[in-house]
């Protein structure tokens, strides 16, 4: 048996024997492949004279050799007798690397990152790749996902489109050589390389040659783009037939619908088949369909008759880690995909609530993998880095001398734990405590009892971020960086910030939001499930216990002392963060009573709690000032919470501290004003002046009593004062139901176009055939390209027979533009001067008292 994988396996085993200086002259080790039907399984039989390692396949032999090597390391001698057989539970156990950056490249959009040494110097570091691949095989991982928006123009050339290549000849040659090296070395270790790409994105040179945009979500499928993409995929498969493909049908093209099905079945799959035909192969390389922002079950139903080797992938907890056993429509999607007959892969994605602090709770991770099996029906793992995904290969730690820590070294326990339970999930709890205690003791040169305390600290701190986000957060997406905190308005009025309700309905145990809890208290109703007060108390205890555990053993550490000190500092950060959130949530619960009582003393009782939360945050800022470069690795305009993070601003706690200090100061001034001027609560609302734009559409003055659509008698009953008098661009009701809305206009100065989206109770993963989908960064990375993601005026119009309306603002420069909106009913309310600020508030039309707006308490005039 001589394969590259078996040679690597035997070499690894012999290296272990030599390193341990074991006497081996009388020991015969025999490797063989003996198929038994279970992929990657192995069996070890033997004694002190002869050891036989047989595998179902080459990977089985590899894992058998690794298992024997682990046994030798543990015993430091050859076993007297050995009889072991094992096999992984999950078919795919993979990790991903983003070939992307924390920022946009000049002149480019989201996801557009050509493979070049200037942008990604680490990509060409072969020693780093060997280190990473060795760590993967050590963790028994068998798949590596490379994420990029449009990798083809860096890796293949097309004779029909020679101008599409994005890199120069020298770089192209480097990319070819690197890709051959990487795929060869990965195969030695039983690792399948999977290249991910988005849709619909074309290369920048291709777009410039044809006078189109590289990506445009509302753009339909065109013959030119379909042909270019099909030929790009074919060329890639022809060149790299053993590399898998992972496609994200959502984000860069319009969400769910027939376009997704057509693109997958008429462009992507035919492209793969063309590539196979060109080299005379019939074995289908695997294609992974990412379920994000697409109707994956419908796409798979159409695709399976055409192509059999398909997998599906969906996010386990959105872009965070919150709950081990998701429920509701989120779980139902995964369950549906798992029943299609293909393998459903569970994606642990981005982790926007964990970064940048160290996370390594084996218990939470084990329970999550059990949930993947028992709840979601998953049989594969797709694991993101624990933090700093956009800044690979480095972590966010600030280290003396400017040294950067590698993620795979800093976060070893993250990769170790997920891969351990992907191999086998249901392991005895006591055995696991012993395993991790011994592992951590070895890592830090301390006793096993002290290792157990480190484990305890990891598991206590591991509850804090999941509980905070699932009970108080705005979203499970990466537009929120949890460790930076939240504004008070985000806690007391989450709907204003585009609340992603699936976070509460599916990615958390049953429980109550802050608004619900206060409303029930006021109405004397019983509480259900996890409550804000419960979590506010629990996270403080978790933080205190984690710090105390490490504090008690700090003098006993003999190895990796610098790293232990960084871990200890992280526990202090978790503690400060938990205290900050706890006191701020308690303040929010207190001041929300003002909605019902209108009594100033209810506000005054919140002041000391808010003051303490600011002190807690000041401690967090001190702890991170010299220890971290940033909180979040995505530093673009997509990041919105707690503050808009464009151009790498508000990325550090020291930047956020003045914001929270000012928030407290404004609140105290508003209380003083209320005490002096009874009834003076809300500023006078005045109409926004309409800006002049030229277009061919029908325009009427926006006011009560007018017809909203040109072909119906639907009337506006009430509207927010700011909107009165704007130039409504009247649309056709029937036409909006039939096709996406496009409005072309010309302006001689920058303007904001106000658009109203209807507030519907849209079920998850379903297509709303009536109302246009509002901008949502969870599913559309371009949803804030014009500053449109945030709701400006909530409940802004009351219209007979239709839901309430939320107002968004799109900013355009002077010139001629086409505003493209999704298919479905929406309203182009009119234009205003771009320099004018649209007030952010809840107009209260068609809303209940629970959502009554008191944001003005925290906003300066």
Q: What is the 3-state secondary structure (H, E, C) of 204-272?
A: HHHHHHHCCCCCCCCCCCCHHHHHHHHHHHHHHHHHCCCCEEEEEEEECCCCCCHHHHHHHHHHHHHHH
Query: Contact at 8 Å (CB) between 480 and 576?
Result: no
What share of the chain has pLDDT > 70, as a percent?
A: 95
Residue written as tokens 């205890």? 541
Q: Which residue would you say has higher pLDDT here, 602 or 200?
A: 602
**Token digits for 302?**
């159409």
Q: What is the pLDDT of residue 254?
A: 57
Q: Quickly state the pLDDT bin for 2 (edges 50, 70, 90).
A: low
**Token digits for 271?**
């492209």
Q: What is the pLDDT of residue 25?
A: 58
Instruction: Among 50-59, 179-188, 560-569, name the one with the lowest average pLDDT.
Output: 50-59
463: number of CA atoms within 13 Å, CB side? 18
| Degrees to nearest 5, angle at CA 143 with 141 and 145 | 125
Average of per-residue pLDDT values in the chain: 91
Q: Quickly state the pLDDT bin for 268 (edges 50, 70, 90).
A: very high
Instruction: Among 158-172, 615-629, 640-654, 748-762, name the one with the lowest average pLDDT.
Output: 748-762
pLDDT higher than threshold 80 for residue 678: no
Q: What is the pLDDT of residue 256?
A: 43
pLDDT higher than threshold 60 for residue 606: yes
Average pLDDT over residues 595-600: 92
Average pLDDT over residues 254-276: 86
Q: Please give the model's pTM, rounded to 2 decimal places.
A: 0.89
pLDDT in tens, 173-224: 999 999 999 999 999 999 999 999 987 899 999 999 999 999 887 777 899 9
CA separation for the pair 546, 575 (Å, rounded): 8
How far apart, in Å, are the Cα atoms of 377 and each of 288, 309, 342, 506, 548?
16, 19, 11, 16, 39
Q: What is the pLDDT of residue 139?
A: 97
pLDDT higher than threshold 60 for residue 681: no
Query: Contact at 8 Å (CB) between 500 and 474?
Result: yes
pLDDT in tens, 433-481: 999 999 999 999 999 999 999 999 999 999 999 999 999 999 999 999 9
Contacts of 385 (CB under 8 A, 6+ apart): 95, 96, 97, 351, 392, 407, 411, 414
Q: Which residue would you say has higher pLDDT here, 309 or 801?
A: 309
Query: Given the DSSP bridges, would you call strands 50-55 and 92-98 parallel, antiparallel or unpaired?
Result: unpaired
End-to-end CA, the chain = 77
pLDDT higher than threshold 90 for residue 145: yes
CA separation for the pair 324, 370 (Å, rounded): 8
pLDDT in tens, 60-80: 999 999 998 888 887 777 776
Residue written as tokens 């999977």? 194
Name the nearest CA neighbour of 584 among 542, 613, 557.
Answer: 613
Q: Quickly state the pLDDT bin for 680 (edges 50, 70, 90).
A: very low
CA separation for the pair 845, 327 (Å, rounded): 33
Q: What is the pLDDT of residue 634?
A: 87
pLDDT higher than threshold 60 for residue 734: yes
Average pLDDT over residues 276-292: 93
pLDDT in tens, 334-389: 999 999 988 999 999 999 999 999 999 999 999 999 999 999 999 999 999 999 99
Query: Contact at 8 Å (CB) between 422 and 378?
Result: no
Q: What is the pLDDT of residue 255?
A: 47
CA separation for the pair 143, 810 (Å, rounded): 41
Q: Which residue would you say has higher pLDDT here, 320 or 26?
A: 320
Q: Which residue would you say has higher pLDDT here, 797 or 80?
A: 797
CA separation for the pair 106, 92 (Å, rounded): 37
pLDDT in tens, 618-650: 999 999 999 999 999 988 888 889 998 888 899
pLDDT higher than threshold 90 for residue 754: yes
């Amino acid at each position: 048996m001589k394969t590259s994988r078996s040679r690597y396996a035997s070499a690894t085993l012999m290296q272990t024997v030599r390193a341990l200086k074991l006497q081996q002259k009388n020991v015969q080790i025999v490797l063989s492949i003996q198929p038994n039907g279970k992929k990657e399984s192995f069996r070890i039989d033997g004694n002190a004279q002869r050891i036989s390692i047989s595998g179902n396949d080459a990977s089985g032999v590899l894992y058998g050799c690794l298992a024997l090597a682990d046994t030798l390391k543990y015993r430091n001698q050859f076993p007297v007798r050995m009889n072991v057989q094992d096999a992984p539970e999950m078919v795919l156990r993979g990790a991903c690397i983003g070939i992307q950056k924390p920022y946009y490249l000049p002149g480019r959009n989201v996801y557009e990152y050509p493979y070049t040494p200037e942008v990604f110097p680490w990509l060409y570091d072969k020693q780093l790749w060997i280190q990473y691949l060795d760590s993967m095989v050590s963790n028994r991982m068998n798949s590596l996902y490379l994420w990029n928006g449009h990798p083809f123009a860096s890796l293949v050339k097309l004779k029909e489109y020679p101008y599409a290549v994005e890199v120069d000849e020298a770089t192209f040659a480097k990319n070819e050589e690197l890709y051959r090296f990487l795929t060869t070395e990965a195969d030695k270790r039983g690792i399948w390389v999977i290249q991910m790409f988005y849709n619909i994105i074309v290369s920048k040179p291709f777009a410039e040659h044809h006078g189109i945009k590289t990506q445009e979500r509302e753009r339909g499928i065109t013959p030119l783009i379909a042909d270019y993409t099909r030929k790009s995929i074919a060329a890639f498969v022809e060149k790299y037939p053993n590399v898998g493909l992972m496609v994200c049908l959502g984000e860069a093209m319009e969400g769910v619908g027939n376009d997704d099905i057509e693109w997958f079945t008429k462009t992507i799959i035919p492209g793969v088949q063309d590539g196979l035909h060109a080299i005379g192969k019939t074995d289908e390389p695997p294609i992974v369909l990412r379920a994000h922002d697409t109707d994956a079950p419908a796409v798979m139903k159409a695709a399976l008759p055409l192509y059999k080797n398909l997998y599906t992938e969906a996010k386990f907890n959105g872009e965070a880690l919150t709950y081990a056993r998701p429920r509701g429509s989120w779980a139902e999607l995964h369950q549906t995909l798992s029943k299609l007959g293909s393998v459903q892969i569970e994606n642990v994605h981005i982790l926007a609530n964990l970064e940048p602090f160290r996370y390594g709770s084996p218990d939470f991770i084990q329970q999550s993998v059990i949930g993947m099996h028992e709840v979601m029906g998953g049989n594969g793992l797709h694991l993101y880095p624990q933090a700093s995904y956009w800044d690979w290969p480095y972590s966010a730690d600030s280290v003396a001398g400017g040294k950067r820590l590698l993620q795979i070294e800093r976060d070893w326990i993250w990769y170790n734990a997920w891969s351990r339970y992907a191999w086998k999930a249901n392991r005895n709890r006591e055995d696991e405590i012993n395993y991790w205690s011994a592992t951590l003791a070895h890592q830090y040169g301390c006793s096993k009892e002290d290792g157990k305390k480190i484990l305890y600290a990891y598991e206590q701190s591991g509850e804090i971020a999941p509980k905070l986000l699932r009970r108080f957060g705005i979203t499970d997406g990466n537009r929120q960086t949890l460790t930076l905190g939240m504004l008070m308005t985000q806690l007391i009025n989450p709907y204003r910030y585009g609340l992603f309700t699936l976070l509460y309905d599916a990615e958390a145990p049953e429980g109550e939001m802050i608004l619900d809890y206060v409303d029930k208290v006021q109405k004397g109703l019983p509480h259900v499930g996890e409550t804000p007060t419960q979590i506010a108390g629990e996270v403080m205890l978790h933080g205190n216990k984690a710090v105390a555990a490490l504090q008690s053993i700090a003098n006993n550490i003999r190895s990796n002392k610098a790293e232990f000190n960084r871990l200890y500092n992280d526990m202090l950060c978790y503690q400060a963060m938990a205290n900050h959130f706890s006191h701020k949530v308690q303040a929010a619960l207190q001041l929300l009573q003002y909605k019902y009582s209108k009594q100033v003393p209810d506000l005054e009782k919140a002041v000391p709690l808010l003051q303490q939360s600011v002190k807690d945050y000041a401690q967090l800022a001190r702890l991170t000032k010299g220890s971290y470069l940033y909180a979040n690795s995505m530093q673009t305009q997509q990041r919105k919470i707690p503050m808009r993070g464009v151009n790498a601003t508000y990325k550090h706690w020291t930047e956020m501290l003045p914001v929270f200090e000012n928030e407290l100061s404004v609140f105290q001034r508003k209380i003083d004003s209320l005490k002096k001027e009874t009834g003076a609560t809300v500023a006078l609302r005045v109409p926004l002046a309409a800006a002049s734009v030229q277009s061919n559409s029908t325009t009427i003055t926006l006011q009560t009593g007018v017809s909203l659509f040109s072909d119906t008698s639907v009337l506006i009953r009430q509207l927010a004062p700011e909107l009165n008098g704007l130039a409504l661009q009247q649309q056709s009701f029937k036409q909006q139901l039939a096709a996406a809305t496009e409005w072309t206009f010309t302006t001689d100065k920058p303007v904001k176009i106000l658009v109203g989206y209807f507030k519907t109770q849209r079920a998850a993963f379903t297509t709303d055939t009536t109302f246009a989908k509002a901008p949502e960064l969870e599913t559309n990375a371009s949803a804030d390209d014009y500053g449109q993601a945030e709701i400006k005026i909530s409940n802004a119009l009351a219209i007979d027979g239709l839901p309430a309306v939320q107002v968004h603002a799109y900013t355009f420069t002077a010139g001629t533009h086409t505003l493209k909106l999704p298919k479905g009913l929406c309203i182009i309310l009119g234009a205003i001067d771009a320099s004018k600020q649209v007030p952010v508030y809840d107009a209260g039309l068609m809303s209940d008292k629970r959502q009554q707006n008191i944001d003005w308490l925290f906003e300066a005039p």
